[in-house]
């Protein structure tokens, strides 16, 4: 049976850690709860205390989304177990190994002990977004902080999984494109020049494809530095463009309106919009305040700019579905679900349902895109390699026919 390593706390806030053999994680949780312990973290791998632990301490102090997710879920578990907020934070400070998050939680605990609210304490640190702070504030005001943290943890976990899925799905096509490009470059640099001297000794007229290939290889070998300078200039120009507000706006507009990738980007943006707004509304945040938080958390600046007037018009009493339809950047089914939610008075539930549907559509769209992209890359690479090989073999076969 696998060995699970756990960290838990007793009702007094004391940290307990150890290992336990069990068939599945659920049995470990049950065993700890029967022993009067509150599970904090259960893993299949023990944290290495040697050089790996030292390497972890010298890594960046930047707090990742995964660390925020773990902290949120663990704090929710401690609060649900009726442990006071300050003792819960103290327990998490002791159990946290990453120096960046540990430093933040220590400061949050000090602010909390000095009389500040949890939302105010978290809002001082960039690791916790405006969305995060708003949901914590709503939970504090409504008296359901542990429930708000639990929902927030699930939301952040879903966001992280979707982002990881999109990034992981693109790894193979990128590797395929890089390997294919390097293969073509090597052929132009080392394979084609070996045939060039042989063709000169033949003294016969070469086919147009062979002449084109030799000229391309010669130009590539002679002016590679020019290509490198152009690539460097293009990269520098792109970086400078992205540093300006107008440049970022133009790039984001292309992302959202591109013929093929634009539809996928719009679905992903709509999924995040629906998930964020639905989660805020479900936690008791008013619609206008929720829209302000959602617009501030939208990464695409062109979409965020398009939504600025939506919040102002909603504040005047207009329907959200009609305003989003005027924006023209959201799927029709998504707009219809929002309209139904407004009519029935269950906008938060419909937004969360729409988010799940849009997320499934986005994953299916990525799979379809990859199913098309991978064979296209393979086919293009194969055609280019075939062109090179045929162009090199045609003069040789022609010479053989003449001699025959």
192, exposed or middle or buried, with CB in 10 Å at 0-12, 13-18, 19+? buried
- Measure the CA–CA gap between 357 and 352, rounded to whole angstroms: 9
User: Would you state the structure tokens that stand for residue 98, as one six-digit string?
Assistant: 């990453």
Domain identity same for 150 and 185:
no
Residues 339, 192 share a domain: yes
HSE of 401, CA atoms in CB hemisphere, 13 A = 7
Output the pLDDT for position 1. Answer: 56
Full domain range(s) for residue 222: 170-404
The residue out of 144, 168, 192 marking a domain boundary is 168
- Write the DSSP symbol of residue 370: H
Let me know if residue 174 belongs to a domain.
Answer: yes
Question: Per residue in 40-81, pLDDT tens?
Answer: 777 765 444 443 444 344 344 577 878 888 888 888 888 888
Same domain, 177 and 261: yes
The pLDDT of 215-230, averaged and rounded, is 84
**pLDDT > 70? residue 235:** yes
Decide which of 122 and 45 is more confident.
122
354 and 340 in a common domain: yes
Q: In this structure, are 214 and 286 located in the same domain? A: yes
Last residue of a domain, one of 124, 148, 168: 168
pLDDT, residue 204, reads 67
40, 95 in Cβ contact below 8 A? yes
- 70 and 193 both lie in a single domain: no
User: Does 285 score more than 70 pLDDT?
Assistant: yes
| Burial of 394 (C-beta count, 10 Å sphere; 0-12/13-18/19+) | middle
CATH of the domain at 86: 1.20.81.30
What does the mean pLDDT of the chain come to?
A: 78
Quick check: is 52 in a domain?
A: no
Rounded CA-CA distance 141/284 in Å is: 9
Spatial CA neighbour of 267 closest among 255, 279, 278? 255
Among the listed ranges 16-30, 61-75, 187-201, 376-390, which one has the minimum average pLDDT value? 16-30
Domain-embedded: residue 51: no
Q: So what's the pLDDT on residue 49?
A: 43
Q: Which single residue is written with the structure tokens 């540093």?
A: 243
The pLDDT value given to residue 61 = 56
Q: What is the mean pLDDT of residues 265-281?
A: 81
Residues 242 and 139 in one domain: no
Tell me whether residue 224 is in a domain.
Answer: yes
The mean per-residue pLDDT over the stretch 137-152 comes to 77
End-to-end CA distance of the chain: 73
CA angle 389, 394, 396 (to 5 degrees): 105
pLDDT, average across residues 347-364: 83
My answer on whether 21 and 157 are in the same domain is: no
Distance CA 9, CA 15 (A): 4
Q: How many domains does the chain have?
A: 3
pLDDT (tens digit per residue) in 104-121: 888 888 888 888 888 888
Is the same domain home to 208 and 342?
Answer: yes
Within this chain, do residues 160 and 221 fall inside the same structural domain, yes or no? no
Q: Helix, strand, coil % (nearest 5) of the chain?
A: 75, 5, 20
Same structural domain, 147 and 216: no
168, 197, 232: which is the final residue of a domain?
168
Please check whether residue 31 lies inside any domain of the structure.
Answer: yes
Query: Predicted confidence band at 14 (pLDDT cuts at 50, 70, 90)?
Result: low
180-190 mean pLDDT: 83
Q: Are residues 180 and 140 in the same domain?
A: no
pLDDT at 399: 66
């Amino acid at each position: 049976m696998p060995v699970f390593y756990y960290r838990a706390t007793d009702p007094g806030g004391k940290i307990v850690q150890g290992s336990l053999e069990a068939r599945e994680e659920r049995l470990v949780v049950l065993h700890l709860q029967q022993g009067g312990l509150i599970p904090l973290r259960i893993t299949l791998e023990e944290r290495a205390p040697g050089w790996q632990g030292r390497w972890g301490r010298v890594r960046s102090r930047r707090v990742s989304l995964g660390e925020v997710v773990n902290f949120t879920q663990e704090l929710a578990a401690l609060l649900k177990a009726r442990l006071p907020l300050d003792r819960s934070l103290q327990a998490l400070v002791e159990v946290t190994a990453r120096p960046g998050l540990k430093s933040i939680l220590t400061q949050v605990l000090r602010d909390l002990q000095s009389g500040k609210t949890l939302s105010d304490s978290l809002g001082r640190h960039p690791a916790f977004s405006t969305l995060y702070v708003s949901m914590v504030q709503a939970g504090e005001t409504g008296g359901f902080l542990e429930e708000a943290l639990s929902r927030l943890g699930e939301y952040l976990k879903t966001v992280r999984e979707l982002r990881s899925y999109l990034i992981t799905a693109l790894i193979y096509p990128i590797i395929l494109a890089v390997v294919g490009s390097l293969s073509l470059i090597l052929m132009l640099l080392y394979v084609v020049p070996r045939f060039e001297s042989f063709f000169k000794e033949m003294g016969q007229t070469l086919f147009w494809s062979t002449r084109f290939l030799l000229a391309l290889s010669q130009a590539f070998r002679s002016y590679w530095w020019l290509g490198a300078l152009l690539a460097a200039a293009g990269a520098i120009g792109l970086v400078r463009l992205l540093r300006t507000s107008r440049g970022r706006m133009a790039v984001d507009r292309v992302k959202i309106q591109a013929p093929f990738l634009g539809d996928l980007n719009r679905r992903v943006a709509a999924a995040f919009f629906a998930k964020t707004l639905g989660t805020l509304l479900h936690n008791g945040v008013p619609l206008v305040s929720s829209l302000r938080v959602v617009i501030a958390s939208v990464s695409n600046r062109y979409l965020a700019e398009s939504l600025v007037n939506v919040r102002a018009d909603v504040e005047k009493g207009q329907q959200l579905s009609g305003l989003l339809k005027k924006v023209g950047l959201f799927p029709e089914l998504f707009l219809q679900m929002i309209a139904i939610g407004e009519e029935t008075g269950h906008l938060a539930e419909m937004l969360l349902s729409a988010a799940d549907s849009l997320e499934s559509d986005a994953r299916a769209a990525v799979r379809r895109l990859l199913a098309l992209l991978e064979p296209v890359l393979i086919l293009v690479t194969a055609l280019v390699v075939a062109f090179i090989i045929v162009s090199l073999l045609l003069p040789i076969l022609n010479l053989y026919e003449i001699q025959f």
